[in-house]
Structure 1
Amino acid sequence: MQLRALHHHHSDEDANIWPHLRSLVPEATEVLDRLEADHQEMDDVIERLTGPRRPAPEQASDLRSLHTLLNAHLDLEESRVVPLIRSHVTPGWWEEAGKEVSKNHGRDLPMVAAWTLDAADEEQRAHIFATAPLLLRVLYRLSWRRAYERRAAQVFG
């Protein structure tokens, strides 16, 4: 599920966020091209990981590769792109894009929402709760959070 959600996240960035950011900040093209290339490279690894079973050493190697790729990607995104988003993208556009993106997660939405809230700081979490539809807030509090916590405990111990 997390790998599928990661793929959807990257697809959403490539299809929605990066084109908008390119139109606002043409000089961001180089870094956005790099991030898109990272997405393709990670998608190739994700495809191998979610495909037919392979020997454990091969899967372990792919997991290490994905870990390395994802961390380098996030470092670049956080250092170069997040500041551009904060300075050039309006909150209204961002919220509308978020609504559109959430439609693409389908059955993964509960886990993705809980994962997002888990990673958010207090200010971000407060904003999400203040702007999310009531139904989503209730579902999160009654079910999604606990399901995510159980899954995280299984994965991370």
Structure 2
Amino acid sequence: MTTVTPRTEGDPRPDTIGMRLAHRVMLRDARRLTALAERLAATATTADAARGAAIAGYVADYCDSIHHHHSAEDDVLWPVLAASAGPHVDLTELSDDHAALDPLLSRVRAAAAAFAARPASEDAATALAVELADLRDTLVEHITDEEAAVLPAIEEYVSVQDWNRVEGTIRKRAKLSFEAPRVVDETTPEEYRALAAEGGLVLRLMLALLVPPFRRRQRRVFEG
């Protein structure tokens, strides 16, 4: 049984911007990776070996990121939310979605590896595009449902203390060299100022080290 600190009326609400940004970044990559694979499938030359490897590596890290996100929700967030909200939230369908994601992620990884092995093959690019489109559509539906059901419940029933503990635990499990620069690229200036103020000097130094090489990586993947 998960022990929580009940949130009472008048207590401050948790700030769920971190979760919203994670979802926004996830959907952005789902859409642009699908579009990239579709463009490659439509060209006669597709990609060379170096770019094929770069694309496959990015897709693999992206799949790992999605797995980390939904497994962290299952292991860390769901128990706290269930204990805090009780009958006011039903996580069954969302948990079922998470279980269905893993075999889909395996198919995407396999298609990316096959593309890396044959980057000049239109068939390999098409197969990757098909799997990524399936993942994109699945994530759009799942995240829409999750934000409609979960975010209001977190803000209504979870205490700031418990939410901070959840976010801290999830952050420790993340691959920050991949996650942090993606979030930075998707934040508005106002959101970035809030994150930088919260993270302090340590966060700003970390981003100064991680963002430039990540942006070079993105250019290799998405611009060739």
TM-score (normalizing by structure 1): 0.82
2:68 equivalent to 1:8? yes
Rg (Cα) greater in structure? 2
Q: Helix, strand or coil for the counterpart of 1:132?
A: helix
Structure 1 CA distance for aligned equivalents of residues 168 and 200 of structure 2: 10
Q: Which runs of 5+ in 1 are unaligned?
A: none
Distance 1:6 1:96, change over 3 A: same
Superposed displacement of residue 130, structure 1: 2.2
Superposed displacement of residue 133, structure 1: 5.4
2:111 equivalent to 1:28? no
2:211 equivalent to 1:151? no
Aligned residue type for 2:195? I
Cα RMSD of the aligned pairs, angstroms, is 2.3
Matches within 5 A, 1:90-129: 90-105=159-174, 108-129=175-196
Correspondence for 1:84 among 139, 142, 153: 153
Q: Which runs of 5+ in 2 are unaligned?
A: 1-60, 115-122
> Which sits farther off after the overlay, 20-29 or 53-62?
53-62
Runs ≥4 residues deviating over 6 A: none
Structure 1 CA distance for aligned equivalents of residues 219 and 157 of structure 2: 38
Superposed displacement of residue 44, structure 1: 1.1
CA contact 2:76–2:169 (8 Å) conserved in 1: no
Structure 2 CA distance for aligned equivalents of residues 122 and 95 of structure 1: 23
Superposed displacement of residue 118, structure 1: 3.1
Correspondence for 1:42 among 101, 114, 127: 101
> Which sits farther off after the overlay, 120-129 or 61-70?
120-129
Superposed displacement of residue 16, structure 1: 0.7
Distance 1:153 1:94, change over 3 A: farther
Between Structure 1 and Structure 2, which shows a larger proportion of helix residues?
1
Q: 1 or 2 for the larger relative contact order (CA 8 Å, sep ≥6)?
A: 2
- Would you say how many aligned residue pairs link Structure 1 and Structure 2? 152
Structure 1 CA distance for aligned equivalents of residues 82 and 203 of structure 2: 31
CA contact 2:80–2:162 (8 Å) conserved in 1: no
Distance 1:76 1:148, change over 3 A: farther
Structure 2 CA distance for aligned equivalents of residues 59 and 113 of structure 1: 26
Structure 2 CA distance for aligned equivalents of residues 153 and 91 of structure 1: 38
TM-score (normalizing by structure 2): 0.60
